[in-house]
Chains A and B, each alone.
Chain A
Amino acid sequence: MMRKSLLISPEVCIGCRGCQTACKEWNQLAGVKTRNTGSFENPPDLIPTLYNRIRYVEVPSEADRQRWLFVNQRCMHCGDAGCMKICPAPGALYRTPEGAVAFSKEKCIGCKLCVTACPFNVPRYDINNKISKCHLCSDRISEGLPPACSKVCPTGAIRFGDRDALIEYAKVTGYAKVYGERDLDGLGALYAFKDAPSIYGMNESPAIPESVVFWNNILKPLSYLGIGGVVALALIHYVAFGPHKEEEEKYDEQHDKKDQRL
């Protein structure tokens, strides 16, 4: 099967956030209690119940004209996916025939290694300590339907289709460089940018952390040999990434609690 992907075009995006809402509707993700932090952008980051969101990037300029960029943030469905590389639980993260990086909450063991392995800071953990992220609506695309975000987009800022065709389309419509065309064996969420990726708040050259490569090549095979168990994983985690980031977890927990209330 041809690899499928999204083509995200901030130049065409009007920031209406139909994508944000449609995703929550299809995936039945609870609304969370937020507050306005002095921006249209909300929630201020991806959370377990938010698989994609719009970042509102103001580019003020005295000389040039003011710009306000709307940039969709989500799992990039990397061809070479750090999360899949590091995941010690077989089948918890898997690639669909269409090329999406999907997940199984049943098989996830809650180790959070994928969090640290992701070059785009995408995976989140839900209240049951299970992975939570965009799965490219794997349950829709397997039936030949476009992902919910792409389906509702009024201006075609999120297009879904054969990856090669989307790259071709982007180039024909005047985007010389397609972000994610080659990085990480090609991203499943491509971006048509007019300017340098940094203007849109994107990493110029995304890469999987060295430690993940180390884990994938050396430690992960060992875990299959029976070192297994939570203690070993914790040890490996410590070796690879240092101690757990308590604050991050707190933030997630806070949101999970609020999820339940709403």
Chain B
Amino acid sequence: MTNHWVDLKNADIILVMGANPAENHPISMKWMAKAQEKAAKLIVVDPRFTRTAAKADVYAPMRSGTDIAVLGGMIKYILDNHLHLKEYVVNYTNAAFLVNPDFKGPSQLDGVFSGYDPKTRKYDKKTWAFQVDENGIPKKDPSLKDPHCVFQLLRNQYSRYTLDKVSEIAGTPKDKLSEVYSLYASTGKRDRVGTVCYAMGWTQHTVGTQNIRAMTIIQLLLGNIGLAGGGVNALRGESNVQGSTDHGILYDILPGYLPVPSASLSDLTAYIEKYTPKTKEPKSINWWSNRGKYITSYLKAIYGNKATKDNEFGYKWLPKIDDGKNYSWLMLFDQMFKGGFEGFFAWGQNPACSGSNAGKVRKALSKLKWMVNVNLFDNETGSFWRGPGMKPADIKTEVFFLPACSSVEKEGSITNSSRLAQWRYRAIKPIGQSKPDSEIMNELYFRVRQLYEKEKGHYPDPIINLSWDYGEKDTNGKVLEIDIHRVAREINGYYLDDVYDKKATPPKLLGKKGELCASFVTLQDDGSTSCGNWIYSQSYTQKDGKVINMMARRDRTDPTGLGLYAGWAWAWPVNRRIIYNRASVDPEGRPWDPKRAVIKWKPTKINPANNKPGVWEGDVPDGPAPPLEAKDGKLPFIMKPDGVGSIFGPGLGDGPFPEHYEPLECPIEKNPLSNQYNSPTIKLFYGGSQAALPEDIFISCDVRYPFVATTYRVSEHWQTGVMTRHQPWLLEMEPQIFVEMSEELAKEKGIRGGDKVTVSSARGSLWAIAIVTSRLRPFHIAGTTVHQVGLPWCFGWQYPEDGSGGDSSNLLTPTIGDANTMIPETKAFMVNVEKA
């Protein structure tokens, strides 16, 4: 979230799209209800009338996978009716920037952008660059009239997204589209603000990243980013998924969103050079210019004393990605299927049910020599060898189960969608032989290290040199018990030497050797600081010699009334509750809406930090620099090299603007907008250049699989249900896999509510109980009637033991990922439904 949960109460309009918070984030509805009490309007756009839609003031149905069409129509509506906040758009976004005159968009090139090579399925992004002046600063036209400026290119691209066209693609009635557009676009005023909540309904598409980009463009046009009650808010699907992403769970990022180096970046200098963005814009803060400090301090944290200036702080020991290789979920299981791995740790996950195309995943597991399943319970992954269609005698995989304890059996921090890191305490000791994950890792690390010490092996250095100073050690050097506070302190970071601010005269002492870092502002690139995750620096800090675990704070006061609760736990970065909050004020530093002032600039008040006039009040500002129009004023989007929000986003692989493409499997033969059917840059597993596996088959627009399907979660179960299917109270409420369908489809198929039906896709099939409901309606798409169905993915064959729950709906979902992130497209695919 750019903002935070409580902040939803500050919105005038809340758009929920690609999410179902009433079922998956119930507590968020408390804040939405508070907003509605104050006359805010809740808009829900979803293929199904969900429990969230039941609370909405406006509900608009749409076919799965057509979000960009719907949002593109909104962009057109805003521009046609001049509803954007012009001062914000001109000053705080790249709308005025001039793009290379050779740039061409989908309206000119029939669905693709300039630079597309169909052979490599990649773009040469040369023409996507901004024009720069003699000083290297992007050229701008603040009147927004230049035909090559971003604003005009935007207008040009979305001029095709007419109400008729959007309705033809998405199936949303035109009057509903108009209602949603006019309501949401009403927030393009200084004193109106709208927010958006999204989740996997936006991300899990071949155009997932662009779905979010489309909304970001809208939020920038309407001046809604940085404001209380605004922002772009990802509702994270697990209690600590924000924390795990922050700490580098994805294959391509190290903690703190530092890229994992690729093999060609052979030394630290090359890495820093590549990943430190440069700008000639004097008003840009360009925070990522500090990259070198963060990676160096990270290396010091993981390799300790072994990381020295002479060995590039151990940079060579970091694992590298082979250039051009992708190690995301779909690729891992593809490789596993092809025999690419001997072993696999399934740690706190259940890919046999959660993985898209679960049938392929289950087969892939059988190719392993060994698997370690670390979980609270055995699950369909650990027991895959005795699952449906498996012949245990033929499967050679040796499975080990390591029982992990639950969150109430251990101490530590947890980071929610608000970026709020909260400390929690152990309620009971771990039950039975179960252990906290950290203890399991400790055991594992010690044994692996011992093996490397004894037997050497290939390249032992990264393991041997790892710092593991998390508690008292026995005579063998094994940590007896992990002190989780030491881990938290390592993440926060230490001064390894006395650290001075060398810009000040005389140099000012920032921190003393051995003390905990005050914040990432004091981190250095010379090895004098250590920090496990720069964005968490300040979370466990030291003030006047006193150590403070900021995450354990429990102050309930809210002086602003905006729900910032600045003294409750701690939010990254530096306890900022709303990020990009410098965009919540106009260029003079006055809040766009004084009633909802996140921060405001006091030009005459003395700043205690430098004894000069001019200081920010309110939330922790995005950098202390003055507002744009003041002396030494800076631009608000401090993480962007140009200092402004990107309406034009040339960083992505599939286009600088979002364009509607059909999902890999879709019900229509032609994309109504262009001749480019699917996203041009997705990696095709089947029908692409590589040898196709029958498991990866997809079948689009085919009478055998005529219905659009999507998957989702329900309040009563969590993820694949491993933690909830063992709970009789929850199973009592939601006992069996179901498929929701319209009354019209049910009639056509002779299905009644409660009937057992078979749902099948090109890849697999399963039984489900039919829920026949008026909450789903047929769509009128491109002149035809299209039915949509939906299934939850919280069931699995293993439990309930009598098989009465059914199996995972991921047996149906395809092997295809987003063009940028490779997140699987589980939210739009094609199925058939027949009475069983």
Query: A residues touching B (Cβ–Cβ < 8 Å)?
Result: 12, 14-18, 20-21, 24-25, 30-40, 42-43, 50, 58, 60, 65-70, 154-156, 173, 262
Closest residue on chain A to residue B50 by CB atoms: A68
Cross-chain pairs A/B with CB under 8 angstroms, 23 sampled? A14-B29, A14-B51, A15-B715, A16-B23, A16-B51, A17-B733, A21-B730, A34-B731, A35-B804, A36-B735, A36-B738, A37-B753, A37-B769, A38-B752, A39-B771, A40-B734, A42-B732, A42-B734, A50-B732, A60-B774, A66-B59, A68-B54, A173-B37
Q: Is the CB of B772 within 8 A of A35?
A: no
A59 to chain B, nearest CB (A): 9
Residue contact B770 to A68, C-beta cutoff 8 Å: no
> Which chain A residue has the least Cβ–Cβ distance from B800?
A33
Contact B733 A42 (CB under 8 A): yes
Contacts of B734 in A (CB 8 A): 36, 40, 42
Residue of A nearest to B806 (CB): A36
Query: Is B33 a contact partner of A156 (Cβ separation < 8 A)?
Result: yes
Contact of B727 among A12, A31, A35, A39 (CB under 8 A): A31
Task: Check B753 against A38 for contact (C-beta < 8 Å).
Answer: yes
Chain B residues in 8 Å Cβ range of A21: 729-730, 733
* Neighbouring B residues of A262 by C-beta, 8 Å: 728
In the complex, the answer to whether A43 meets B753 with C-beta atoms within 8 Å is no
Interface residues of B (CB under 8 A from A): 22-23, 26-27, 29-30, 33, 37, 49, 51-55, 59, 714-716, 727-736, 738, 752-755, 769-775, 804
**How distant is the Cα of A21 from the Cα of B733 in the complex, in angstroms?**
9
A65 proximity list for chain B (CB < 8 A): 59
A60 surroundings in chain B (CB, below 8 A):
774
The 5 closest A-B pairs by CB, nearest first: A31-B728, A38-B753, A38-B754, A60-B774, A14-B22
Chain B residues whose CB sits within 8 angstroms of the CB of A43 once the complex forms: 732
Which of A20, A35, A156 touches B736 (beta carbons < 8 Å)?
Answer: A35
Q: Please report the C-alpha to C-alpha distance between residue A156 and residue B33 in the assembled complex, in whole angstroms.
A: 9
Which residue from chain A places its CB closest to the CB of B736 in the assembled complex?
A36
Do B770 and A58 have beta carbons less than 8 Å apart?
A: no
Q: Contacting A58 at CB < 8 Å: which of B33, B727, B730, B773?
A: B773
Nearest chain A residue, comparing its CB with the CB of B732: A31
Within 8 Å CB of A50, what residues of B?
Answer: 732
Contact A15 B51 (CB under 8 A): yes
CA distance A67 to B738 in the complex (A): 21
**Interchain CA distance A65-B173 in the complex, whole Å:** 13
Q: How far is the CA of A173 from the CA of B39 in the complex (A)?
A: 12
Apart from A36-B771, A38-B753, A60-B774: 19 A-B pairs, beta carbons within 8 A: A14-B23, A14-B54, A14-B55, A18-B26, A24-B729, A33-B732, A33-B804, A35-B735, A36-B735, A36-B738, A38-B771, A38-B772, A39-B754, A39-B771, A42-B735, A58-B774, A65-B59, A67-B54, A156-B30
Instruction: Please name all residues of chain B whose beta carbon is closer than 8 Å to the beta carbon of A70 when the two chains form the complex.
Output: 51, 54
Given contacts A15-B22, A38-B770, A31 and B729 within 8 Å (CB-CB): yes
Instruction: Report A-chain residues with C-beta under 8 Å of the C-beta of B804.
Output: 33, 35
Q: Which of A15, A38, A173 is in CB contact (< 8 Å) with B755?
A: A38
Closest to A11 in B: B55
**A14 neighbours in B (Cβ, 8 Å):** 22-23, 26, 29, 51-52, 54-55
Contacts of B729 in A (CB 8 A): 20-21, 24-25, 31
Point out the residues of chain A lying under 8 angstroms from B771, CB to CB. Answer: 36, 38-40
Q: Verify A155–B29 contact, CB threshold 8 A.
A: yes
- Chain A nearest CB, measured from B213 CB (Å): 30
Which residues of chain A are within 8 angstroms of B769 by Cβ–Cβ distance? 35-38
Contact between A155 and B735, CB atoms less than 8 A apart: no
Check A39–B753 contact: CB distance below 8 A: yes
Bound CA span A70–B770, Å? 20
A15 touches B54 (CB 8 A): yes
Bound state CA distance, A173 and B774, in angstroms?
A: 30
Q: Which residues of B contact A69 (CB under 8 A)?
A: 54
* Nearest-Cβ distance from residue A68 to partner chain B, whole angstroms: 4
Inter-subunit contact B732/A66 (CB<8 Å): no
- Whole-angstrom distance between the alpha carbons of A243 and B630 in the complex? 88
Interface contact B754-A58, CB-CB below 8 Å: no
Please indicate the chain B residues that have their CB under 8 angstroms from the CB of A18 in the complex: 26
Whether the Cβ atoms of A30 and B735 lie closer than 8 Å is: no
A104 vs B629: C-alpha distance in the bound complex, in angstroms? Answer: 74
CA distance A15 to B738 in the complex (A): 18
How many angstroms between the C-alpha atoms of A16 and B29 in the bound complex? 11
Chain A residues, Cβ within 8 Å of B51: 14-16, 68, 70
Interface contact A68-B29, CB-CB below 8 Å: no
Alpha-carbon gap, A186 to B23, bound state (A): 33
CA distance A67 to B774 in the complex (A): 9
B735 near A16 with CB under 8 A, answer no
Q: A21 to B724: give the CA distance in the assembly, Å.
A: 12
Q: A171 → chain B, closest Cβ, in Å?
A: 15
Would you call A32 and B755 a contact (CB within 8 A)? Answer: no
A262–B54 CA distance with the chains assembled, in angstroms: 33
* Contacting residues, chain B, for A66 (C-beta < 8 A): 49, 53, 59, 774-775
Contacts of A40 in B (CB 8 A): 714, 734, 771
CB-CB under 8 A from B774, the residues of chain A are 58, 60, 66
Chain A neighbourhood of B772, CB < 8 A: 38
The docked-state distance in angstroms from the alpha carbon of A185 to that of B774 is 38
Q: Is the CB of A155 within 8 A of B30?
A: yes
Evaluate contact between A68 and B30: CB separation under 8 angstroms.
no
**Which of A15, A24, A38, A50: most chain B Cβ within 10 A?**
A38
Alpha-carbon separation in the docked complex, A15 to B33 (Å): 14
Residue of B nearest to A261 (CB): B728
Contacts A42-B733, A65-B59, A66-B49; is A17 near B716 (CB within 8 Å)?
yes
Bound Cα distance A20, B753 (Å): 24
Cβ-closest chain B residue relative to A15 = B51
- Chain A residues near B23 (CB-CB < 8 A): 14, 16
Give the nearest-CB partner of A65 in chain B.
Answer: B59
Question: Does B754 contact A68, Cβ atoms closer than 8 Å?
Answer: no
Q: Max chain B CB contacts within 10 Å: which of A16, A25, A42?
A: A16
**B686 CB, min distance to chain A CBs, angstroms:** 33
Nearest-CB residue, chain A, relative to B33: A155
A192 to B773, CA, bound (A): 26
**CB proximity of B768 to chain A, nearest CB, Å:** 9
Closest chain A residue, CB of each to CB of B776: A66
- Which of A14, A40, A67, A70 has the most B CB atoms < 10 Å from its CB? A14
- The answer for the CA separation of A4 and B361 in the assembled complex, in Å, is 55
Instruction: Please indicate the chain B residues that have their CB under 8 angstroms from the CB of A34 in the complex.
Output: 731-733, 735
Cβ distance B474 to chain A, nearest Cβ, rounded Å: 42
> Nearest chain A CB to B487's CB is how many angstroms away?
32
Q: How far is the CB of B80 from chain A (nearest CB, A)?
A: 27
Residues of A within 8 A of B775 (CB): 58, 66, 68
- With a cutoff of 8 Å between Cβ atoms, the chain B residues found around residue A20 in the complex are 729, 733
In the complex the two chains form, what is the Cα distance from A154 to B28 in whole Å?
8
Whether B26 contacts A12 by the Cβ 8 Å rule is no
Contact A33 B22 (CB under 8 A): no
A37 to chain B: which residues have CB within 8 Å? 753-754, 769
Q: Which residue of A lies closest to B52 (CB)?
A: A14
Question: Which of A16, A24, A156, A173 contacts B715 (CB under 8 A)?
Answer: A16
Chain A residue contacts of B773, Cβ below 8 A: 58
Distance, CA A20 to CA B716, complexed state (A): 11
A63 to chain B, nearest CB (A): 13
CA–CA, A155 and B33, complex, Å: 7
Residues of B within 8 A of A30 (CB): 728
User: What's the minimum C-beta distance from A149 to chain B, rounded to whole angstroms?
Assistant: 13
Min CB gap B51→A, angstroms: 5
Q: How far is B54's CA from A69's CA once the two chains are assembled, in angstroms?
A: 7
Task: Decide if B753 touches A17 in the complex (CB within 8 Å).
Answer: no
A173 partner residues in chain B, CB cutoff 8 A: 37
Residues of B within 8 A of A33 (CB): 732, 735, 804
Chain B residues with CB below 8 A from A17, complex form: 715-716, 733
Smallest Cβ distance from B38 to chain A, in angstroms? 12
Who on chain B is nearest to A29 by CB?
A: B729
Alpha-carbon distance between A11 and B716 when the two chains are bound, in angstroms = 20
Report how far A33 CA is from B55 CA in the complex, Å.
30
Chain A residues contacting B49 (CB-CB under 8 Å) are 66, 68
